[in-house]
Structure 1
Amino acid sequence: MSWLNEVRKRLPFVQAKRDTPDNLWRKCPGCGEMLFTKEYEDNLWVCPRCEHHGRVGADTRLGQIMDAGYTVLPPPHVKEDPLRFRDTKKYQDRLRAARNNAPHPDALTNAEGTIDGRKAVVGVQDFGFMGGSMGMAVGDAFVAGVDRAVLAKCPYVIFTAAGGARMQEGILSLMQMPRTTVAIRRLHDAGLPYIVVLTDPTTGGVTASYAMLGDIQIAEPNALIGFAGQRVIQDTIREQLPEGFQRAEYLHEHGMLDMVVPRGEMKDTLAKVIDYMMAAKKAA
């Protein structure tokens, strides 16, 4: 300790230096404005200036949508690294690193509870876990969520966020596309609603399967939704794509979505949709 710090410590009228947290502010990915973190969180991770909807994890999403007291369903157990895949790193090392930074063991988490008093099973994909990619664990979790909804006789609501299938599992990841489609059929056979909420981003094999099979298709504002990337499409068809292509509002305008709903209105909207669809089921 320097003599100056020693003197400062002994003087009673000199205020001690306090450590300042380094996460008080964050930069909005949409408009670039610096936001007070607490204000951002209180606004459901939506920028109060440009209304950019930030990406959120599974626990945050479940807390925003479900009533207090919901139960997180146990994750499925699948064989890890079945192909012993390695690129610049071993797949097992990538999984370990992802789990060290996430509260759940894979990209899809299910919970059972209520949404404004309406019973539902809700699945949430976390883009923060290996880009929300769809592998065997995601497929098993999706099927388990549907089965739980059938058992509880309630809707299954899925919040999608994914870069597509998980390349480290090869064909086994692509097999989750028909698996999840068959599971949705079981839900329909039981006369129960399947509701999809597409969040930013939802792409690849997830878009090509369960993300586009909802009885009701909802999206958050400006969410990126598509199969192949915009540049790939543009280079393939050799044409300039329209402005806003693959964004939620464009897809809504062209009939691929039923509605685009801001995050602050999502819980109330889902409750109304569940009321309507379950009433139709009873009437039938």
Structure 2
Amino acid sequence: MAQIVFAAAAPHAPAIVGLFDKAPADSQKVVKDTYAAITRELIAAKPDVLIVFANDHLANSRITFYPDFLIGAGETHRGPHEWFQEWIGCRDYAAKGNPAVAKALFQGMTRRGVRMSLRDENLKFDDNISVPVTMTNLDTTEITLVPVLQNCTVPPFPDAKRCFDVGHALRDFIANDLPADMRVGLFGSGGLSHEPGGVKYYKIDEAFDRRFLELSAGGDHKALLSEMTVERMEEAGIGGTAEVLSWFPVMAAIGERPGRSFGYTGWPSFRCGVGGVIWDLGKEQ
């Protein structure tokens, strides 16, 4: 069976790129330490493919026909899309795709009762994929990328429990449908607390973020599902905080594993709480 060799999650806030040099030293350290550790362990794990669950921000689908999960099956994933280039402030990239895994994921998840959509063309990537790809320099490696853009914006979107169901199906798909010698990495791109364009635009819910990181790194899925409801996410920041739902399929797929965090910053000008987790796949709770 294929093996999950890497699992991590972190925010993709564009300001951690565009405003990094203006951030206080302690906030810079959190960003540096988090993405440096993710990069180091991703390279060391040597996955053949990295499946990234990220959030779609109304760039790829109409509101009246909005898929909960959209898989990118392109040969190459280029970004950021020109509309977002100046806003994000990151460099251009071209990451290798994996159409075979993307199409197998679509078929395998459908058989397991998880309906996803699939597109062969290059999707319009904003910070969702652009930040993690450029922060880890994924495009300079031989690791292939399969992006899965997740609806956390247009209601009714998948809640925490549904995202866990998706993760359980993902685990079964990896174990039974992919080549036996394939090495798979998983990454959740989204969060933490923020309210884009809302009344809390510069207000970070530090209490939510720290508790979310604690539960995620602790591997206590029962507590995570009990406490981290969509209602609590919306309380922490409408229209943005629910991006953390992209972490849930990753956590469900690996089971109750402990993880490591690399600090936290709620610097207001990032307009998003920042902190990440890498899970230890060698240990079970």
* TM-score, with length taken from structure 1: 0.28
If asked which structure has higher relative contact order (CA below 8 Å, sep 6+), I would say 2
* TM-score, with length taken from structure 2: 0.28
